[in-house]
């Protein structure tokens, strides 16, 4: 008995077609077919159909056996996971927790140092930033809020950026994690405006572009241009 479903069904179809042809020939009288020959043809049809059904049943049994075998193997692997779990995960998580605690500890120490420097500079009356940066008369040190600046180097607290940095680190983005806690930076070169004027109230006003209205004030003497020496003193914070 063949177990090839396609072959068995093809043989069954051929047998059915032969039976149909024989019955047609017998009914129309195109050719004579004995009763015995007709029975043989019909028996062949029945045999072929039974063979095809048996092949289909066998194929279905094989599919079910393969399905159950696959599921049984999955079950074994699940049982294996249950025996091995959680494996090295707890140790790895302990290492991560310890690393996170270390990061927070270092950040807290950094913030404490910055706060102490800010407090000390304030006690020693560090002057505010001049347009050109920290003043020479304060040893080029200035306080801006919770940050402290020396010349162009600025240091500030990490604060709540640690959690953001840890999030980047846990996600595998080391560059963003480091950038999030980069609290000591180099300030850009101070911007020097194109035009510097002293107004009627004695205050210095700076502009990169002069509008027609400003030009009119200059012509009227309401805005008086600063000399190069005065501009330099203004940038240094020593212009009275």
Residues 181 and 228 in one domain: no
What are the helix (H) ranges across the chain?
A: 5-28, 35-84, 89-123, 161-170, 174-180, 212-220, 228-236
Residues 96 and 181 in one domain: yes
How far is residue 104 CA from its own chain's centroid? 23
Q: Which domain holds residue 220?
A: 195-236
What is the residue-averaged pLDDT of the chain? 83
114 vs 180: CA distance, rounded Å: 17
Q: How is residue 195 annotated by DSSP?
A: E
Query: Can you give the pLDDT at residue 1?
Result: 40
Residues 94 and 179 in one domain: yes
Residues 102 and 168 in one domain: yes
**Which among 54, 84, 114 is the end of a domain?**
84
| Residue 37 CA neighbour count, 13 Å, CB half | 10
pTM check: above 0.85: no
Answer whether residue 112 shows pLDDT above 50.
yes
**Which among 61, 84, 107 is the end of a domain?**
84
Answer whether residue 37 shows pLDDT above 80.
no
Tokens of 102: 């270390």
Residues 41 and 113 in one domain: no
Determine phi and psi for 150, rounding to 5 degrees.
-125, 115
Rg (CA), the chain: 47
Residues 96 and 128 in one domain: yes
Quick check: 139 and 151 in contact, CB under 8 A?
Answer: no
Q: Which residue has the tokens 């994690």?
A: 177
Element (H, E) at 154: strand 153-155
Residues 95 and 181 in one domain: yes
Answer whether residue 168 shows pLDDT above 80.
yes
Q: How many secondary structure helices (H) and strands (E) does the chain include?
A: 7, 7
Quick check: 101 and 135 in contact, CB under 8 A?
Answer: no
């Amino acid at each position: 008995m063949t177990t090839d479903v396609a072959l068995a069904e093809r043989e069954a179809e051929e047998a059915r077609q032969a039976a149909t042809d024989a019955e047609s020939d017998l009914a129309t009288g195109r050719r004579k077919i004995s009763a015995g020959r007709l029975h043989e043809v019909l028996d062949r049809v029945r045999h072929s159909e039974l063979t095809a059904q048996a092949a289909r049943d066998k194929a279905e049994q094989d599919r079910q056996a393969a399905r159950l075998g696959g599921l049984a193997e999955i079950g074994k692997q699940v049982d294996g996971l249950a025996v091995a779990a959680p494996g090295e995960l707890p140790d790895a998580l302990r290492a991560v927790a310890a690393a996170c605690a270390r990061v927070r500890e270092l950040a807290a120490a950094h913030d404490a140092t910055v706060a102490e420097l800010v407090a000390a500079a304030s006690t020693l009356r560090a002057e505010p930033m001049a347009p050109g940066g920290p003043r020479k008369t304060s040893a080029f040190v200035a306080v801006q809020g919770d940050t402290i600046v020396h010349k162009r180097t600025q240091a500030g607290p990490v604060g709540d950026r640690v959690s953001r940095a840890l999030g980047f680190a846990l996600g595998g983005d080391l560059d963003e994690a480091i950038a999030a806690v980069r609290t000591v930076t180099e300030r850009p070169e101070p911007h020097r405006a194109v035009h510097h004027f002293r107004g009627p109230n004695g205050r210095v006003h700076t502009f990169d572009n002069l509008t027609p209205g400003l030009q009119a004030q200059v012509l009227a003497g309401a805005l008086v241009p600063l000399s190069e020496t005065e501009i330099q003193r203004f940038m240094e914070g020593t212009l009275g």
